[in-house]
Structure 1
Amino acid sequence: MLPPVEDAVLANNPEFAALYAKLTTSALNPDGSSKDDPAAKERGAVTEELNRYRLKAAKQSLLLDAIANANPQSLQAKPAPAPTLTKRPRAPQQATSTIAELPAPLLDLLLLLPPLLTASSELSPESTALLLSNPPLSDFPDHLPQLAALVSNHLHTSAVHLARIANPSTNPSFVHRAVPSLPTSAASLTATIADRKADLTRARLAAAASLSSLLASQTAVLAQLLRALEAKHGAVARSLELRAAEAALAAQRQHAEAEAALWLARRDAYPPAAQRALANYARHLRDARARLNEAVHTLRAELEAYGVDSVAAGTGRSGRGRQGEGHAGNGAGVP
């Protein structure tokens, strides 16, 4: 699979985008191989031969596994299946009865075939001829139908298990019908997995692009925040703050100088002798006001002693005084 490229990279590099589109559509296959390779036919033939050998090796592996698992001793060594609601566990006597039903040469053949077929080192021709000329290997053609039945039964059971895994929603009674379609199901599942991987890769690229844009936005926000902090607490802000403090100190100094000038002007306008005279005059006025108030209280007390209301007498006297002043004014006005 060709490695995908982010959309942002393609958008920022139009020439590379055109080259990438040409490579992915007309020059290269999805697996990265060239479409115009002159050795493609030879490589295809080699690939087909390799697939045949792989198929042969897979068949041999399946047969070996089936023969090894068809061994009655291995079947007897396996634990009993767990009981279910629809199926009761079999009694352990059934395995013994199955082993008892098999003939002894077939049992010997089942015991000897797995280690013989899976031996790491090849036997010499003499040893091979000796084994094939003596029982139970010499009776192999006679026991081949029963051995084939055991192997076929095991292969069918394994295929049913695979069909059950591939079709979990199918009724267990009809799972065996899906055995012939296992290759098609496996191929479709493989293709689906490849498509899902490609979709996942594209989704990861989209998520990476979104994350990159989000990080870029966060970077811009942090840059704006730093600028705001610098504007508030930076060198310019400190300079403005110092200038404001200097202006405040200058204003305080001017205020103090104005107050000092005011006191100096007062001192020049009112010398000490004038200040003492004004103070004495103010004290004299206070004393005169106090004596006047005392005389008024004394006169009111005397009037009250004679039974005259001081307030009414004061009002009548003030009225007559005003009339006399009016007559005097009128007389003064006559020639």
Structure 2
Amino acid sequence: MLPPCDPAVLQSNPQFSSLYQHLTTSLLNPDGSTRASDTQPARRAAVEDLKGCRIRNAKKQIKKRTLRQLAFDGEGGLPDQHQDTVAVISLYLDSSRQNGKEAGDTLALLAPDIEAFYSSIPAVINPFSEILSSSIASLRMIANAGTKTTPVQSSESSRPRPRARQSASNTATPLSSQLSARVRSLRETQLVELPASRRQMTLTAAEVLATRAQVLEQTVVLLERAKHGALARATKAKAEHLATVAQGMEGKLNVTKFDVIAQIYSPETIAALDRYRQHLGDVRERLEERQELVSQELKAYDAQGRSCQETGSMAEIVQRYGKLAREVEAVKVELRRLE
């Protein structure tokens, strides 16, 4: 099969165009075979035999694949009691390339399954036919893609009778011719529309690349203005200047702080604070000693009051105890104030 050629190439090369047309229309068939050989009777007979063999092999493969789909597809509509039998027969057909002895042993081993399969053929016919009908409908949809077709009726509601089916099959267009026409249409599309689409895509890609180049150019200009231009450099220099000024101000403030601290905490002030701290320490020690003495005296009065039995002496002790308690509280207040 000759590869398709771009119409632009054919238009720009008239001699090559005439040669290409001569090859594709006069000398060669669409499949690449020679047209002159088609008139020979022996070749025609061989071609017909080969075509028949291919058709028989295709039918055999279609039946095997349909049977495998029916066996292993849960939605095939096959009854459950026949599922295993059909699966065994399908696997046997897929792996039937054996020599005579092995084939005989396999047949002897699978004899019960084969007999069961023969007995279940009436139950297998309907789902088998439905799968084939679905495949044919799919092929017809592919062949008629892009053309107006009548809607396909459901197999349940419009299943024709044998005579009607025969008449419909006589009037319907063969699927092979539809597929051939579809292939020719696709080839014409490949020869005519596809190169034009490629050229259009090339032009669009060139426009996209040009737009991208413009975007990159504008990006570079914006970067130059915003980051590497004179305005950006001036702003950066101003920011650095302000940062330096801020550092100088911080240094001046630190110097002023140290001067103020030196003026406040002079040697005389430090000596006075030390003397006052020593005075407070002495006062604290005296108050603590006084608190300890008062506490001891209170303990002594407490012991004396427990041993005393007279009412008058007990009242006097209570008065003195209250007085001492007030003195202790006053000492504690002074201690807290000193702290």
Larger-Rg structure: 1
- Of structures 1 and 2, the one with the larger relative CO (CA 8 A, separation 6+) is 1
**Does the alignment reach a TM-score above 0.5?**
no
TM-score (normalised: structure 2): 0.41
